[in-house]
Structure 1
Amino acid sequence: MRRRDFLRAVALAGIAARGARGLAPSFATGRQSNSGGDPGKKEGDPMIYRTLGRTGERVSAIGMGGFHIGQTKLSDDDSIKLIRAAIDGGINFMDNSWDYNKGQSEIRMGKALKDGYRQKVFLMTKLDGRTKEEATKQINESLQRLQTDHLDLIQHHEIIRFDDPDRIFAENGAQEAVLEAKKAGKVRYIGFTGHKDPHIHLYMLEVAARHNFHFDTVQMPLNVMDAHFRSFEKQVLPVALSEGIAVLGMKSMGSGVLLKSGKITAAECLRYALSLPTSVVITGIDSMEILDQAFAAIESFHPLTNGEREALLAKTCQAAANGRFEPFKTSSIFDSTAENPEWLGEEPREIRELMPA
């Protein structure tokens, strides 16, 4: 979509919402409110800021995705300029991961956050290790690449298998490394991510509760098609909100795959996700044009009404029914840890002992 077409689309979407009434309970009731009691509001610039769950941190409603800024089609200089332009425009939530683009995403973000920019952002990265040893190594490598002495948020990445929670919370599992990093001042808050199945997210919360641990954040796919198939919105979102866990939305456009259905526009995708009770919607930004589109979406944002929500759900229902346009749920294409099992570390000792010599 060309920039001027996108700007016109989001502007019209915002205008259409201004006179509407009667929002669904799961949706925000206005620019000043986000379900879950969070007042999302402007604070001196076009950006909307929301509260990150019970942490009390104020974060931008749009977060800058870390994957895209490490891609080879961008130079180091272009990535640095893009990240700093996002921060200058009010985006203060930075997303990244130890595994993105073989570390290039973190390295570039680390360069961009020099010259005082680190103090302006809430910095998050993710780790893939499931063992204490591997997780410790990845945390320290991320800190080095990002050129910082602490992470505002670390998240266990790609919780996409039912054994992931048990491995992470096992003796000498990754959670021990994360807790030690927090005690040492290297990490402030702890969360997890996943994109495969809402039941795995719920199991992660269950295992955490068994270990008397409460996550600060949870990241999940939240988009209009998710509402129809293996829905994180319907199954995980209410639980997270009830427990005071900040919700980080991702895949609002499914890396552009949702748009290929022909049933939804980019503007509608972003508006749907922003209307949910999220603290942040993380979006991939790989050009100044896309950054401008994100700012335009925020500038004109007004939450969906009940009628608008139902209309979007109705026109995407058939296309979304079998998960075809959410391949991150139905295939292994998005499963980087499946392609690189060594990132996880060794299998637990009790499993290795069962295997034949």
Structure 2
Amino acid sequence: MLYRVLGSTGERVSAIGLGGWHIGLKCVDEELAIRIVHAAIARGITFMDNSWDYNGGVSEIRMGKALRGYRDKVFLMTKIDGRSKKEATKQLDESLKRLQVDYIDLVQHHEILRYEDPHRVFDEAGANAAFLEAREAGKIRYIGFTGHKDPHIHLHMLEVASERGFKFDTVQMPLNVMDAHYRSFAKLVLPELVKQNIGVLGMKSFANGILLKSNTVTPIECLHYVLNLPTSVVLTGIDSMEILDQAIEAVQTFQPMDEEQLRNILAKTAQAASRGEFEPFKTSSIFDSTAQNPDWLGEEPQRLQKLMPT
């Protein structure tokens, strides 16, 4: 296993992270999910991804069961959808119970997809106030955010945070062999994160398998490409022991790419990627859980509601 430093936190984490969504799928029974987590840890994976909303809480519950006796071997992350302080606090407490832990290493604001999301998060009664209180209480250690829609919204989130005097520890975003050709996080956001020494979490390496349907690249090539970027962790969904083997093989066979190798792999995907067809998380609402469940976000800031005409 390769290990990398998580931005300015100084934490050393595995270059591959175990995606939490897949271990809660109906096609993966609980016994297999726990076996996957244990096998991943045994093979050197330390970064564990999850979210409050994954599979109605099943993913966190299974992760909690799998980490009994293993908590000190992993860097545990989850994500919270609430934009209000009240809703974020509620969801965070639920995550702690499901995961059966006293603290979570990293909690991230989930699905920052809209230009208003940063302002809701950083409102005086917003979710980041809940995160800061939780960090002060020892319930969480680090704070980040995620999103998959548009790199400009990521940049806006960083800008709003900076205006409030806050710096994120991590940022999670889509990074894959097609991203460079369409609304690219790698081109627009990644340099800023490197400049600020913020931990980079890459996701959507395969876009839940959709990317592979382009028949342009292999799974190993996909993972090698993202490992070659200045990522701290590449998160990948693992729903079988065979897919775990594939992730480990990608790490073991990874070698830094030269400019010619990069040009060749991007040339393979240029035409298929040109319109975002194989990155539907950018071009549709199919992947937008909070759009389908707006109640997860909580109420709009009270100060804004007072401005509305009665």
TM over 0.5, shorter chain: yes
CA deviations on 1:315-340 (whole Å, 9 max, x unpaired) are 21111111111000000000000000
Shift of 1:355: 4.5
Letter of the 2:275 partner, please give it.
N
Aligned to 1:252: 205
- Relative to the length of structure 1, the TM-score reads 0.86
The 5 Å alignment of 1:109-128 reads: 109-114=63-68, 116-128=69-81
Q: Read off the aligned partner of 1:117 and give its amino acid letter.
A: Y
SS in 2 for 1:308: helix
State the Cα distance separating 1:353 from its structure 2 match. Answer: 3.4
Aligned match for 2:276, one of 285, 302, 323 = 323
Matches of 1:296 and 1:259 in 2, distance apart? 18
Spell out, residue by residue over 1:148-179, the C-alpha distance to the aligned partner (whole angstroms, 9 max, x if none). 00010000000000000000001200000000
The amino acid of 1:221's aligned partner reads: P
Amino acid at match of 1:229: Y
Q: 1:351 offset after TM fit, Å? A: 3.8
Q: What is the correspondence of 1:168-183 to structure 2 with a 5 Å cutoff?
A: 168-183=121-136
Please say if 1:280 is aligned against 2:224: no
1:302 aligns to 2:255 (yes or no): yes
Query: What is the letter of the counterpart of residue 133 of structure 1?
Result: K
Deviation at 1:303, TM superposition (A): 1.7
Question: How far apart, in 2, do the equivalents of 1:75 and 1:254 lie?
Answer: 22
SS at match of 2:144: strand
Aligned-partner Cα distance in 2 for 1:233–1:137: 34
2:208 counterpart SS class: helix
The answer to whether 1:64 aligns with 2:3 is no
- Residue 141 (structure 1) aligned with residue 94 (structure 2): yes
Find the aligned partners of 2:304 and 2:7 in 1 and give their Cα distance.
37
Q: Does residue 1:104 correspond to 2:62, yes or no? A: no
Structure 1 residue 265 displacement after superposition: 1.4
Q: Percent identity?
A: 66
Q: Following the alignment from structure 2 to structure 1, what is the Cα–Cα distance between the partners of residues 211 and 231?
A: 20
Q: Determine the C-alpha separation between the residues in 2 that align with 1:192 and 1:106.
A: 18
Out of 286, 298, 301, the position equivalent to 1:345 is: 298
Distance 2:307 2:222 in 1: 47
Q: Per-residue displacement from partner, 1:112-147 (whole Å, max 9, x unpaired)?
A: 000x20110000000000000000001100000000
Q: Which position in structure 1 is the counterpart of 2:177?
A: 224
Hey, what does 1:80 align to over in structure 2?
Answer: 34
In the alignment, the residues of structure 1 paired with residue 213 and residue 4 of structure 2 have an alpha-carbon distance, to the nearest angstrom, of 31
Which residue number in structure 2 is paired with residue 239 of structure 1? 192
1:28-65 per-residue CA deviation (whole Å, 9 max, x = no partner) reads: xxxxxxxxxxxxxxxxxxx1000011111110000000
Q: What is the root-mean-square deviation of aligned Cα atoms in Å?
A: 0.9
Tell me which of 290, 296, 315 is aligned to 2:243: 290
Secondary structure of the residue aligned to 1:124 is: strand
Decide which structure has the larger Cα Rg and report it: 1
Shift in Å, 1:349: 2.1
Q: C-alpha distance in 2, partners of 1:172/1:330?
A: 31
Counterpart residue type for residue 39 of structure 2: A
Structure 1 alignment gaps of length 5 or more: 1-46
Q: Give the TM-score normalised by the residue count of structure 2.
A: 0.98
C-alpha distance in structure 1 between counterparts of 2:290 and 2:2, whole Å: 34
Q: Partners in 1 of 2:106 and 2:45 — Cα distance? A: 16
Structure 2: state its 5+ residue gaps: none
CA distance in 2, matches of 1:314, 1:295: 26
One-letter code aligned to 2:47 = F
Cα shift at 1:299: 1.1
